Structures are given as structure tokens and as C-alpha cells.
Amino acid sequence: MVEYAIEIDNLVKKFGDFTAVNGVTLHIKKGEIFGLLGPNGAGKSTTINMLLGLIPPTSGNILVDGIDMQKNPDKAKQEIGVVTQETVVEPELTAEENLMIFGRLHHIPASELQKDIDFALELSDLTDFRNKYAGTFSGGMKRRLETAKALMHAPQLLLLDEPTTGLDIQNRTQIWNLLRQINKRDNVTILLTTQYLEEADQLCNRIGIIDHGKLVALGTPAELRQKIGMSAVVEVAAAKDYLDKIASAFKKVGLDPQVLTNKVIASGGNAPVDKVDKLIKALTLNKIPIHGISMHEPTIDDIFLKLTGSSTRDQTGADNSKAAALMRRGR
Amino acid sequence: MGLAEDTLTLFTREMLIFKKNLLQNLSRGLIFPLVFIILLGSFGSTPKNVPVAVVNYNNGPMSLQLINLIQSNNNVKVVSATTQAQAMSLLSQGSVAAVIVIPPVLSQDSASSIYVYLDNSQPQSASVVNGAVSLAAAKLGTSLVTSSIGSAPNIISVITDYAYGAGSNYESFVVGGIVIMVAAFGAMFGSGFTVISDRELGNMKAFLTTPINKYAVLFSKIGYGTVQSTFSAYVGLIIGLLLGATIAAGIVGFIELLWIIGLVGLSFGALSVAMASKAKQLQTYALITQTITMPMSFLGGAFVPVSLLPAILQPVAVVDPLTYAVNATRDIMIKGYLPVSMLVESSAILLIFTGVMIALAAFFFRDTSQQI
């Protein structure tokens, strides 16, 4: 019995001069729900693509359930179920046909295929829609079908690339429950990437943050908060024009401000309540209008921001687009 | 768990989608034959009802007989004019294609001439008028000679016999080319186009994350392109037959055509997959395929016989695989007989072309990171 569902050691991927993944080592135990976070162009997708056997690493090892992805890709791929970022259920095929095709691509024996299809339809709550074309489904139904499709061949590892992007809160909760259910019942290891930090916070046992091709943080959400040494966060939201004035008020009361697009934040340090009290007085005295002021526990978002200097949703930045262009062109 | 099984699975997927979109696929086969036969008209055949103005300064029985003979020709329609000036103005306006002037003196005893003024801006019409007048004059001359002298005229008669293609018509000629062009274009849609769209939709990535032989993707696409293009070409063929084309070789020809069309679908399926594996975007792919398929169809003689191509292009037709396919369909449809040597030659050339294209596609496809 192998202890780890995924063992990634010293993984490196270079596209020409550009190093997309720079020595990532990551071991994920069986039965974990692991969240991989990182800004766009950080090396997240490249890591995932190597894990899926789509692109070969420049150096380093990947073991899936103890099977080497490079040496034995067919066997390793059998242990992985994938839900890609694009929902790739075929709209011109019925729910059942979609499952049948992927069941056959995963080499499920013909004698078991129908049983597995029925199971997948039940799991995704689509039994009544089995003969309906997937093109007529809602976004949530498609995502459920996609997830069931990925689980049909009973993989050890379920890999989801931004599984809930674009879904409303109701569908998102449904997907989360589905993931928790299969993780608990079948002990399926789940690796997901996400832009929603609250998703990682709520769903994942452990989180890894990747930036500039390196794993910059790893641990449970609670561990990460501790490790980063962030105390309570002080946050003042205001109109753009006043942010500089607010920042100088922060400095006066002994806070180290970070100016964002519509707010100023700072780590509270020692005695944050005192500082907030002084801050409110300073803002009132200078008649600076604000939209809101708060003090709260650091969220994953705060940790992420501190580590990578950008929000997960921040998609601009010359650095990232250059990296993306290189990845498309490179080989 | 081999390549064949994976190919069959993906091919099944394509066929299920094909079935869902049957109507759309049907219409794809309709467009070319309809355009080329109905809209373009009988481009290569003899014009009918070409208007000609006849000015008769003779008014004798002989000239009236001549006019009757011209009129009896279905290819021309006689419009009478009183003066040559009036007739010429009709010609300059384009109301008639020619003016025939019968001079006052017309006799079979002495040399006399009929004047024909032609508008050669429509060469087909001009040649029809010329033919009709010559024929009428010859008939008139022959009958008069026979009646007056009473001996056999001193004429060397030319006996022509159509050894092949006696029942040929323009429709059969053009449909023979169209089915090949439809097959070539159909394969571009069925094979390469779906490679690109599957890549853009993320399907390609999904296929490649399963433990299949990656080349199964290529083979299933080529297989599907072959089926789709053959289907489209047969829809085109049936439309062509309804519009007047014939297959001289009969039922056997119908089956021989299936083989030739299938090979064109296969080879162009392979060609399109090779290009789609390299082209990153749909626009690039569409541009490349049109740039290749259109000239190949024309060079292959799909619309105009290779013998009518400019002299410098004729040698190029020799290396165009479609030349052999078009020759084979014309033989089947018009000649009514496909020699075994020609069947072997065209099959071999198309299969070699297919093999080279599959090798090229596999070469472009070996690095899957380019395909996701």
C-alpha cells in the first residue's frame, strides 16, 4: 500500500529560457483534499499538465499512487480522474453517450461499462436526463456530469482545475458536497486548483501556494496563518482619492500600510485594537471620508497577498502574459 | 487495449455527433452541385436560342429556303431586320449576337457569299451562329447541286463515330469533377476542422488525459473525415444524377466511384489532420486548406479539362493526386469503363499520398503539449 497519492520531487519545466516550474517538491497523502493556489502564470497549470502526463518535465519525478508517470503513463493515467477548467462534456451527445465514450477511453471492460454509467448518472443526479443532449444542460448539470465522468473508472486521485469557476453559489455548494462525499466514502484523494480562496479554506485539508514556479507555502489553512506570522488585519475601504491620506494616517499610528485599488490594509501587529482606535480618531480629525473600517483574522487571501504580492484574481501584469506567451510557443 | 480499439471508440463518438447533425451534413453535400449545375448553367455546352438578325436583300426562293434552314436550327433564333444599318445597331446594342446579310445576288452557279457579322464577346454564341449558317449553306448548296446536276456531288464525306462517351453531357462532365472536389473539401471539414475545434474546446486535452494511444485521435479523425466526405460527395452525386448527369458504367460504376471518392476522402482527411496538427488557429487552418484544396481541384481538372490549362501548368497537374481521381470518375461516368491499370494507378497514388500525410500528421502530433 502506497502512502502517497502524489509524489512530486524536484519538478522542473523549462520553455526555452523561461523556467515555468522551478524545483517543486510536493507529497500528497491518500485521502487528502489538497488545494493548489497561485496567480496566473505562476506555474500552476504547467505543474498540473505534467501531473496529467500531457507534457514531459525537463527534470524531476512524478509518481501517481506509486506509479511513475514518465515510465508507465498508461497505468498512471488510470489512477487519475480529471475535471478540466473548460467543461468538456460534448453538447452533441447525450449524458449517457458522454459517459460511454469516456468509459471506453479509460478501457473499462464492456461487461462493466453499463453498470459504471448507471452509477455515474446516479452520482451526478442525472439519471432522469440520461438520454438528453448535454447541450441542453445548465452549467451546474454539465459540471456534475463532468465530475461523474472523471470518477467513472474509479481513480485514486481526482484532479480538478478550477472546478467551480463561473458557477453560482448554489451549484458551487453542490459541487463541494459532491467532492466531500466522494472523498469521505471512497477515500479518493482530491487535488484542486482554485481562484476562490474561501473554497480552498473551506474544502481543503492542506494548501500549497505556488509562485514564480516555486512552492512558497505549504500547510493546513491554520498552519499557514501561523507560519506567515500574521496577526489581525486592519482594513480601511475608501474612495481612490483618499487612499494616500489614509496610508499616512496608518503610518502615524504605527501600522505598515499596503495600498490596494480601493482599500488600505495592514497587519495589526501588537495591540491592534489600540491602533484601530487611534486610526479612527486620526481619520475623524482629518475629516477623511471612508466606506468602512474593519479588523479581522487574516484570511487565505491576506496570506496569499502577502506571499505573492498579488491577488489570485489579478490577471494583468506584463510578467504573466509574457510567461503565457512563452508557454504557448515553447516546446 | 490497442490503437485500433481506442480509434474505434473515438470514431464512434464522431459518428454519434454526425448522426445528431445529419441535416447539416446533408446540406454540405448539396451546395456545390447545385451551384455548379443550376446557377452556373451549362457552362461548357452549346448555347440555345442565340438571337441573330437576318437582313435579306435577295428575297428569292433560295434565300427564303436558307432562312428556313437557319431557323430550323434550335440553337439560333432569327430576328428579321429590314436594313443592314438597323441590324448592325441591334448588334452594337447587344440585342443580337450576330447579323447575317444575304446579298441581292445569290446563286448556286456562280460564287456568292453570305456575310456574317459576329459579336465575339460571347465566343460560344458566335461559334454557334457560325456553325448554324455554314450548316444551312452547305445543305442548301448540296440539295441544289443534287437537283440541278443530278449526279453525286464531289464531296469527301467524313464519318465520325464516338468510340466513347457518346451519351456524354455537360452535367456528367461537371459532376465527375464536383464529387471529387466535394470529397476533398468534406474531408477538410470532417477531419482537420474537428481536430482544431476539439483542441479549442478542451476535448483534445480530455482525450489525452485518458490512457489511450494518442495516435488514435488522428486515426479516428481521418476515419471520420473519410466517412463524412464520402457521404457529402454521394449526396452531390445523387443531386447531379437528378439534374441530368449519368453514370455510363452503370451500377458497377456507382461502386467504383465509392472506392475513388473514399480514397480522396481518406487522403485529404490525412492531409487536413496534418495541417490541423500544425496550425494553431482555426483562421490559419481555414486559409491553408482553401489555398491548397481550391488550386488542387482546378489543377486536377475538376472543372476544366487539364488540356485547357495554361501550358506551364499542365505538368503540375501530373503531380496533383486529384488529377488521377478526376480522370477515374470521368472514365466511370462518361467513358463507361475504368481500365484496371488506371484503377491501380489512381488508387496507388492516392494511397501513397495518404501514407505521406499520415506520417506528417503523426510527426506534428508527437509532442502533445502543442495540442492542448
Q: How far B14 CA sits from the closest chain A CA (Å)?
A: 10
B154 is a domain residue: no
Question: Would you list which residues of chain B are within 8 Å, Cβ to Cβ, of chain A?
Answer: 1, 5-6, 9-10, 12-13, 16-17, 20-21, 201-203, 205-212, 280, 367-370, 372
Nearest-angstrom CA–CA distance, A137 and A129: 9
| B217-255 pLDDT per residue, tens | 999 999 999 999 999 999 889 888 888 888 888 888 988
Boundary-marking domain end, from B97, B120, B149: B149
Across the interface, of A54, A90, A101, the residue whose CB is closest to B208 is A54
Of B5, B10, B201, the CB nearest to A88: B201
Q: Cβ contact (<8 Å) for A92 and B370?
A: no
Weakest mean pLDDT among A228-242, B142-156, B264-278: B142-156
CB contact under 8 A, B9 and A104: yes
Angle between helices A300-308 and A221-228 (to 10 degrees): 50
pLDDT over 80 at B187, yes or no: yes
- Whose cell is 456545390? That residue is B32
Q: Cell numbers 468602512 label which residue?
A: A292
Residue B163 resides in a domain:
no
Residues B226 and B339 in one domain: yes
How many C-beta atoms surround the C-beta of residue B80 within 10 A? 10
Q: Does the distance separating the beta carbons of B1 and A88 come in below 8 Å? A: no
* pLDDT for the residue A312: 46
Pair (B190, B74) in one structural domain: no
Cβ pair A101:B12 closer than 8 A: yes
Is-contact A179 A191, C-beta < 8 A? no
Q: Which residues of A touch B5 (CB under 8 A)?
A: 107
**Cβ of A120: how many Cβ atoms within 10 Å?**
27
> Does the beta-carbon distance from B206 to A84 stay under 8 Å?
yes
* Contact assignment for B211 to A74 by CB distance below 8 Å: yes
Please give the backbone phi and psi of residue A99, each rounded to the nearest 5 degrees, phi first: -70, -40
Same domain, B131 and B22: no
User: What CATH number has the domain bearing residue B141?
Assistant: 3.40.1710.10
**Alpha carbon distance B214, A268 (integer Å):** 55
Q: Is B31 part of a structural domain of the chain?
A: yes
A248 vs A244: CA distance, rounded Å = 6
Q: Do B209 and A80 touch (CB under 8 A)?
A: yes
Quick one: CA dihedral B316, B320, B326, B331, positive or negative? positive
Return the pLDDT at B119: 78
Select from 3.40.50.10190, 3.40.50.300, 1.10.40.30, 3.30.70.980 the CATH code of A231-297: 3.30.70.980
Verify that B59 and B19 share a domain, yes or no: no
Residues B333, B214 share a domain: yes
- Residue B163: is its pLDDT beyond 70? no
Contacts of A252 (CB under 8 A, 6+ apart): A278, A282
- Tens digit of pLDDT for each residue in B120-143? 777 777 778 878 887 887 777 654
Closest Cα in chain B, distance from residue A74 (Å): 4
Residues A210 and A191: their CA atoms lie apart, in Å, by 14
Residue A124's closest CA among A142, A102, A98? A142
In chain B, residues with a C-beta closer than 8 Å to the C-beta of A52 are 208-209
Is residue B155 in some structural domain? no
**Residue appearing with cell numbers 444542460:** A137
Name, in order, each residue with C-beta under 8 angstroms of B282's C-beta and a sequence gap of 6 or more.
B193, B196, B197, B200
User: What are the tens digits of pLDDT across the range B74-120?
Assistant: 788 888 888 888 888 888 888 888 888 888 877 665 566 778 888 77
Test B210 with A73 for CB contact under 8 angstroms: no
**Domain of residue B211, residue span:** 3-42+169-371
Cβ-nearest to B205 among A54, A80, A92 = A54
Please state the ipTM of this predicted complex. 0.77
Buried b (16+ CB within 10 A) or exposed e, B268-283: bbbbbbbbbbbbeeee
Q: Domains in chain B: how many in total?
A: 2
pTM of the model: 0.76
> Lowest-confidence range among B26-40, B171-185, B214-228?
B26-40
pLDDT tens digits, residue range B328-354? 998 898 888 888 888 899 999 999 999
Q: Residues B143, B176: one domain? A: no
Q: Which of B7, B13, B209 to mutate to test the interface with A (most CBs of A within 10 A)?
A: B209
* Mean pLDDT score across all residues of chain B: 83
The answer to whether the CB atoms of A106 and B208 lie below 8 A apart is: no
Q: Are residues B177 and B308 in the same domain?
A: yes
Q: Say if residues B322 and B180 touch (Cβ distance below 8 Å).
A: yes
Q: Considering chain A, tell me which residue range(s) the CATH 3.30.70.980 domain(s) occupy.
A: 231-297
Of A90, A21, A29, whose CA–CA distance to A51 is shortest?
A: A21
pLDDT along chain A (331 residues), means of 10: 89 91 94 89 88 92 93 93 84 94 94 93 91 91 90 92 82 87 91 82 89 89 74 86 89 86 82 86 88 82 72 43 44 35
> Looking at the predicted structure, is the pLDDT value of residue B144 above 50?
no
- Check whether residue B99 and residue B200 sit in a common domain: no
* Chain A CA closest to residue B15: A93
B173 in a structural domain: yes
For residue B128, what pLDDT is reported? 81
Q: Are residues B324 and B246 in the same domain?
A: yes
For residue A294, what is the enclosing H or E element? Answer: strand A292-296
- The secondary structure of residue B151, as a DSSP letter, is S
Same domain for B237 and B116:
no
Transcribe A167-226 into DSSP letters. Answer: --HHHHHHHHHHHHHHHHHH--EEEEE-S-HHHHHHH-SEEEEEETTEEEEEE-HHHHHH
Question: What's the rounded Cα separation, in Å, for the pair B118 and B180?
Answer: 38
| Contact flag B209-A54 (C-beta cutoff 8 Å) | yes
Which residues of chain B have a CB within 8 Å of the CB of A328? 280
Q: Is residue B159 part of a domain?
A: no
Residue of A nearest to B13 (CA): A101
Instruction: State whether A105 and B20 contact (CB < 8 Å).
Output: no
Please name the residue ranges forming H helices in B243-336: 250-278, 282-299, 314-318, 321-330
Q: How confident is the model at residue B145 (pLDDT cuts 50, 70, 90)?
A: very low
Mutant choice from A88, A136, A146, A162 vs B, greatest count of B C-beta within 10 A: A88
Q: What is the CATH number of domain A4-226?
A: 3.40.50.300
Residues of A within an 8 Å Cβ radius of B: 49, 52-56, 73-75, 77-78, 80, 82, 84-88, 90, 92-93, 97, 101-102, 104-107, 133, 328, 331
- B213 in the same domain as B338: yes
Full strand arrangement of the beta sheet holding A80-83: A80-83, A157-161, A189-193, A33-37, A206-211, A214-219
Distance in Å from the first CA to the final CA of chain B: 24
Does B337 map to a domain?
yes
Question: Do residues B196 and B261 share a domain?
Answer: yes
Is it the case that residue B183 has pLDDT exceeding 50?
Answer: yes
Cβ contact, residue pair B16, A53, below 8 Å? no
Nearest CA in chain A to B217: A105
